[in-house]
Structure formats: structure tokens, C-alpha cells
């Protein structure tokens, strides 16, 4: 009759099962890990996505602020030009009123 000895070890991540038979044959079955490496890779990818999203949102915010600044400056220039045109118009009217018609 064949004698068989089974030894199992587990380190929390991997389980190893060793089967020894008296005929000198040894089988080693190293069970897969708990998938901790996959979890760590998933967390790293999630962190990378969060960092990229943060920088894209910051870039969008900066573009919006820059656009608002340019729009505000253009409005101020337009208001100044309109005020200057009104001033020239008023001055021309006063000058025309001051000139007496020649008879």
C-alpha cells in the first residue's frame, strides 16, 4: 500500500500544498494569490485618473478666468470709446451752436 503525506502552508497571500508519496513522487500545488497585486494596480490606476482629472479641471478653470479677464478688458475699452465718441459729439454741437451764421 502506498503511503501519502500531505502538507499545506499558507502565508495569508498564497497557499501551498505538497503531496509526497513513498514511490519518491512529490507534487507541489501552489495555489494562486489572493489578488492583492491586482488590487494595488487598481488603486494606482484610480489615483492616476484622479490626478489627471484634477489637472484638467484646473486648466479649464484657468482658461475660464483668462477669457473673463479679456472680456472685461474689451468691455472697458468699448465703454471708453463710446464715452469719447459722445464727448466729441457734444463738443461739435457746442462749437456749431457757438458759430453765428453770417448774413
Q: Are residues 39 and 86 in the same domain?
A: yes
Q: By the 8 A CB rule, do 28 and 18 touch?
A: yes
Q: 43 and 30, same structural domain?
A: no
Q: Are residues 2 and 21 in the same domain?
A: yes
In a domain, 96, yes or no: no
Mean pLDDT of 15-21: 71
For 33-89, the pLDDT digits (tens) are: 566 778 889 999 999 999 999 999 999 898 888 999 999 899 898 888 888 888 888
Give a yes or no: residue 65 inside a domain: yes
Number of domains in the chain: 2
74 located within any domain:
yes
| Residues 80 and 46 reside in one and the same domain | yes
Parent domain of 47: 35-90
Note whether residue 97 is domain-resident: no
Query: 490626478: which residue's cell?
Result: 51
d(CA 14, CA 41) in angstroms, rounded, equals 18
Amino acid at each position: 500500500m502506498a503511503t501519502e503525506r500531505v502538507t499545506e502552508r499558507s502565508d495569508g497571500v498564497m497557499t501551498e500544498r505538497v503531496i509526497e508519496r513513498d514511490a519518491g513522487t512529490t507534487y507541489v500545488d501552489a495555489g494562486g494569490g489572493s489578488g492583492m497585486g491586482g488590487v494595488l494596480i487598481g488603486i494606482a490606476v484610480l489615483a492616476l485618473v484622479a490626478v489627471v482629472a484634477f489637472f484638467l479641471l484646473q486648466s479649464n478653470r484657468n482658461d475660464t478666468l483668462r477669457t473673463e479677464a479679456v472680456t472685461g478688458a474689451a468691455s472697458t475699452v468699448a465703454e471708453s470709446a463710446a464715452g469719447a465718441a459722445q464727448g466729441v459729439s457734444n463738443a461739435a454741437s457746442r462749437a456749431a451752436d457757438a458759430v453765428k451764421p453770417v448774413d
